[in-house]
Chain A
Amino acid sequence: MADPLPLGAGAEGVGAALLELGLVAAVLAVLARLALRSGFSPVPLYLVAGLVLGAVHPPALSAEFIDLGVQIGVVLLLLMLGLEYSGEELIENLRSGLAAGAVDFGLNFTPGLVAGFALGWDWRAAILLGGVTYISSSGIVAKVLTDLGRLGNRETPAVLSILVLEDLVMAFYLPLVAVLLTGAGVAAALGSVAIAVAAAALALFAAVRFHRVLSRVVSHASDEALLLTVLAIVLVVAGGAEALSVSAAVGAFLVGIALSEQVAHRAAQLVSPLRDVFAAVFFVFFGLQVDSSKLPGVAAVAAALAVATAVTKFVTGRWAARRIGVGPRGRLRAGAALIARGEFSIVIAGLGVAAGVEATLGPLSAAYVIALAVAGPVLARFAERLDRPPWRREASARP
């Protein structure tokens, strides 16, 4: 990036930075409209925009500014994730869905991990790639289920339960990799994970036992006061967690979990437009940080990994749906619904890019997510036809 303009470098610098940000926002606005019209997730479009901008004409924004934008995006994404589920839901799913969660982790983390080692990467980069292939995009999956009118379907609870458990796994995975990336030893990593586990347990306990008190303290009749309170809490906790090297993302996630019920629902409504802005900025800035000249070199690997992990996710979903007694067609739908990867794969890859751990991790993850964020919803729409091929559909149709 040529001549970074630090914000605060005088009126001229600020003006130029605002102008460039405005242009980036204009590109995003057009892409968001395109995504809405075509019914697809905007995430891959934002990523492509970032990659193209980075290759053609990188905006002269300072590296610190981009880092901060990325961090705020991550914090808000994880806060919303935590707000989405109540403490009871998380605990209930931990009990009932543990087997499916374990199968999901085994089948989908392993391909990324193995691919990382096969590429001769540093072991920490391989663990990150495992995370990238493991986690489905809850945002894309939930949207696909809603758009296709499948929320009422019998297989949907199995799909949602897997998403919930993946999100819980993040509470332990993120602090683990955050510490590993600082280059600390295994003992320090275990210590930090212990802190994260204790904090997660505490947040869950607080959410279940003290939600009334928490609601009373945080709640306010005015939207403005509530929004500012929630923002203050999440930024302070995220900053504190980062300082303790537990990762800001986990701090934000735990704040989301600790807030529950009415306050959580209102906070989610208030934060969501803010999240939309910073998440879009996050994807573009991630694309900017990726060295796009390495993209052609990783395209084949990304495609192979995408196909392999689309299959493993499909198997996971089918198995989970079968466990709760869903029929053959529902199993196909559940399997395909989970294939999409998105925001959290990028969050994980972003950790590695920021730490500079492996130069091709960023491009590979970007290509991988773009492929599956586009293919996932398409496969989800058509998977159930596998059960009734076109040439047999006429015969089996009811009169």
Chain B
Amino acid sequence: MATVVETPLPGIGVRYEFTTDGGDRIGVIVHRSGRRDLLVYDRDDPDSCRAVRALDDDDARTLVDLLGGSEVAERLDVALRQSVEGLVLEWVELGRDSLAAGRTLAEIGLRKRTGASVVAVVRDGETVPSPRADFRLAAGDTAVVVGSADAIMEALELLRRG
């Protein structure tokens, strides 16, 4: 795999670039807003871009699918997004009356219902990273949830009320 060079762009996001086997330099800017810019550098003037195309979430996903390996790419996608904090990360403490308490993650079906995922659970000061589907939540647990702002709002609702 080609070496990907990462450059922070303060106030904007992060730029990634690499050189293809054919000698072209190609890059992507991941904006904080989630927008991506696809860059093709100019061979004449390697400091500037010959083409810049803005892609929204949907466009980016379509392109990734067309380029193949969508599953790997999706994971890479999530990693990229986390590295620029494009996603919302939220802590939810489960109260006594939460219906989620005492149920497994699979039973709650958070991701299916809201699109947000539980990436960690904090219990008695201990963190359980990437809990499995059969992990059973308890009252007093703090769930760390990741997703888009909308998904997070629904997820909070669901976890607090059950």
User: B9's contact among A157, A221, A261, A330, by CB below 8 Å, is which?
Assistant: A157
Interface residues of A in 102-161 (CB under 8 A from B): 138, 142, 149-157, 160-161
Say which one of A53-61, A85-93, A306-314 lies at the interface with B.
Answer: A85-93
Contact A154 B32 (CB under 8 A): no
| A163 vs B156: C-alpha distance when bound (angstroms) | 38
User: B52's contact among A138, A149, A164, A265, by CB below 8 Å, is which?
Assistant: A149
A262 touching B89 in the complex, CB below 8 Å, given contacts A150-B48, A221-B152, A329-B48: yes
Contact of A192 with B by CB under 8 A: no
Contact A161 B85 (CB under 8 A): no
Contact of B149 with A by CB under 8 A: yes
Contact A160 B11 (CB under 8 A): yes
User: What's the minimum C-beta distance from B50 to chain A, rounded to whole angstroms?
Assistant: 9
User: A160's contact among B10, B43, B49, by CB below 8 Å, is which?
Assistant: B10
The DSSP consensus for interface residues of chain A is helix
Most chain B beta carbons < 10 A, residue from A92, A152, A164, A216: A152
Contact B7 A157 (CB under 8 A): yes
User: Which residues of A are found within 8 Å of B39, using beta-carbon distances?
Assistant: 152
Contact of B37 with A by CB under 8 A: yes
User: Which residues of B are found within 8 Å of A365, using beta-carbon distances?
Assistant: none
A93 touching B29 in the complex, CB below 8 Å, given contacts A150-B48, A327-B45: no
CB-based closest 8 A-B pairs:
A330-B47, A152-B39, A149-B52, A154-B47, A89-B10, A221-B153, A84-B11, A152-B49
A interface, CB within 8 angstroms of B: 84-85, 89, 92-93, 138, 142, 149-157, 160-161, 163-164, 216, 219, 221, 261-262, 265-266, 326-327, 329-330, 333, 384, 398
Contact B52 A261 (CB under 8 A): no
| A93 vs B90: C-alpha distance when bound (angstroms) | 29
User: What's the minimum C-beta distance from A205 to chain B, rounded to whole angstroms?
Assistant: 19
User: What's the minimum C-beta distance from A87 to chain B, rounded to whole angstroms?
Assistant: 11
User: What's the minimum C-beta distance from B87 to chain A, rounded to whole angstroms?
Assistant: 8
Instruction: Output the nearest chain A residue to B150 by Cβ-Cβ distance.
Output: A221
| A157 vs B87: C-alpha distance when bound (angstroms) | 24
Contact of B55 with A by CB under 8 A: no
User: Which residues of A are found within 8 Å of B7, using beta-carbon distances?
Assistant: 157
Residues of B in contact with A, size category: 20 to 34
Instruction: Output the nearest chain A residue to B38 by Cβ-Cβ distance.
Output: A152
A89 touching B8 in the complex, CB below 8 Å, given contacts A265-B85, A329-B47: yes
| A170 vs B54: C-alpha distance when bound (angstroms) | 33
User: A152's contact among B37, B43, B85, by CB below 8 Å, is which?
Assistant: B37
Contact B27 A221 (CB under 8 A): no
Instruction: Output the nearest chain B residue to A164 by Cβ-Cβ distance.
Output: B10
**What mask results when residues 29 to 72 of chain B are scored 1 for a CB within 8 Å of chain A, else 0?**
10011000101010111111100100000000000000000000
Contact of B12 with A by CB under 8 A: yes
Contact B152 A149 (CB under 8 A): no
Contact B11 A326 (CB under 8 A): no
Instruction: Output the nearest chain A residue to B156 by Cβ-Cβ distance.
Output: A221
User: What's the minimum C-beta distance from B21 to chain A, rounded to whole angstroms?
Assistant: 21
User: A151's contact among B33, B37, B41, by CB below 8 Å, is which?
Assistant: B37
Instruction: Output the nearest chain B residue to A266 by Cβ-Cβ distance.
Output: B149
User: Which residues of A are found within 8 Å of B149, using beta-carbon distances?
Assistant: 266
A327 touching B37 in the complex, CB below 8 Å, given contacts A152-B29, A156-B9: no
Contact A93 B10 (CB under 8 A): yes
| A326 vs B30: C-alpha distance when bound (angstroms) | 22
User: What's the minimum C-beta distance from B40 to chain A, rounded to whole angstroms?
Assistant: 9
User: Which residues of B are found within 8 Å of A398, using beta-carbon distances?
Assistant: 43-44
**What mask results when residues 143 to 155 of chain B are scored 1 for a CB within 8 Å of chain A, else 0?**
0000001001100
A142 touching B52 in the complex, CB below 8 Å, given contacts A221-B152, A262-B85, A266-B149: no
| A84 vs B10: C-alpha distance when bound (angstroms) | 8
A149 touching B49 in the complex, CB below 8 Å, given contacts A93-B10, A265-B85: yes
Contact B45 A329 (CB under 8 A): yes
User: Which residues of B are found within 8 Å of A160, using beta-carbon distances?
Assistant: 9-12
A261 touching B29 in the complex, CB below 8 Å, given contacts A155-B47, A329-B48: no
| A262 vs B12: C-alpha distance when bound (angstroms) | 14
| A384 vs B44: C-alpha distance when bound (angstroms) | 13
